[in-house]
Amino acid sequence: MATALYTTLVNRIAAYAPGAPQPVLVTHLRDAAIEACERTSAWRYKHATITMVAGTYEYAFVPESGAEVHTILTSSINGNDLPVKTLEDIHRLYPKYPSSVAAERTTPQYIFQNNPDTFHVALVPDNGTDTIEMFVAQKPLRSSTGMEGTVMDDLETVIIHGALQGLLTMPETTWSDTELAAYHAKQFTFKVAERRARANIGAGRATLTVRSPIWA
């Protein structure tokens, strides 16, 4: 997919901060893009298939270039649901996890994100044929110069308001305007909520439903 550079949005905010250097504008645009992706989970990605390795419970994510995984949205193993749990959930269920005892290995029943780079499965896999499929939500890296173009187009207004809410509160600058910053902060919050709802419901406007978690 095509990458859109943050510099393409510079002209959208430069007029509100006359005199602000382009690197400063780009930094605030990137920060706003990261926060927008974190709060909306709008940058969704079909992760590459992961094949388990017997005895290995930690695996590296393979996100798109310039991105890292923010959260796991859905996952399955061998075509069956693989619920997402927290580390605390896993240890309540399996106090000895991760066990090094070969006899206690089995097909993983749960998955949890360890950090932006890796995820764990529980229990420890017992073979190298199980495969995991995932959809994940991504966010740009702090070192990124842009992000996936269609996502940035969809979040453009959110990113603009997010960048301006921070940019206009920079102290001792000629463009500082706390009143205008407060306006953009409110717009950012409103637009984030709208985009998050859109991402959850989907373009088809499906009805949201509630499902009780499976505890066993």
Are residues 143 and 68 in contact, defined by beta-carbon separation less than 8 angstroms? no
In a domain, 216, yes or no: no
- Tell me: do 166 and 101 sit in the same domain: no
Banded pLDDT at 211 (limits 50, 70, 90): low
Provide the token pair at 161.
């308001």
Does residue 53 have a pLDDT over 70? yes
Banded pLDDT at 8 (limits 50, 70, 90): very high
- Tell me: do 64 and 36 sit in the same domain: no
Q: What is the pTM of this model?
A: 0.88
Of 115, 138, 161, which residue constitutes the final position of a domain? 138
Of 122, 138, 154, which residue constitutes the final position of a domain? 138
Letter string b/e over residues 37-65, b meaning 16 or more CB atoms within 10 A of that residue's CB: bbbbbbbebebeebebeeeebebebebbe
Banded pLDDT at 200 (limits 50, 70, 90): confident
pLDDT digits (tens, 9 = 90+) for 120-177: 999 999 988 999 999 999 999 999 999 999 999 999 999 999 999 999 999 999 999 9
The total of structural domains in the chain comes to: 2
In a domain, 55, yes or no: yes
In a domain, 208, yes or no: no
| Burial of 189 per CB tally in 10 Å (0-12, 13-18, 19+) | middle
97 lies in which domain range? 44-138
Alpha-carbon distance 48 to 169, whole Å?
41
- Tell me: do 124 and 178 sit in the same domain: no
- Tell me: do 36 and 93 sit in the same domain: no
* Amino acid, single-letter form, for residue 158: V
Provide the token pair at 200.
């959850």
In a domain, 211, yes or no: no
